[in-house]
Structure 1
């Protein structure tokens, strides 16, 4: 299942909290021209390093489909960032 929502929580050193909800599909639609350039650059990189482009694309797809349910937490001092993919 493709990720639908990314939640970013940021705890600032002064104690305030910031929570951002980022919907994945609208962001992909807005960034689709850059996504096309990224795919073309990846294809060139695969051909230059003699890696199968189909295998690289399958691996990337499997990685993206495994993201829902993933949580990244980073803490340094009094600042904390939590990224949750749903």
Structure 2
């Protein structure tokens, strides 16, 4: 399943957490013109490095399909960042 929601939590300097919910589909729709340029650039790169475009697309799809349930946690000193993909 493609990710639907990304939750980002950041600890402020005063110790409180700030939570941000990012819906994936509306953000992808807003960035679709840039996504089109990225796809064209990816196809050009595939031809430059002799990679099959459909194979590269299949690999990107598998990575996106595996993202739900992924968690990134970063803590250093008073700075903390937690990212969760659902």
TM-score by length of 1: 0.96
Residue ranges of structure 1 left out of the alignment (5+ in a row) = none
State yes or no: 1:63 paired with 2:80. no
Q: Deviations over 1:32-85 (max 9, x none)?
A: 000000000000001001111111000000000100000000111111100000
Alignment-derived partner of residue 52 in structure 1: 52
Root mean square deviation of aligned Cα: 0.7
Aligned residues: 86
TM-score by length of 2: 0.96
Over 2 Å off, 4+ runs: none
Alignment-derived partner of residue 11 in structure 1: 11
Residue ranges of structure 2 left out of the alignment (5+ in a row) = none
Q: Distance in 1 between matches of 2:56 and 2:12?
A: 38
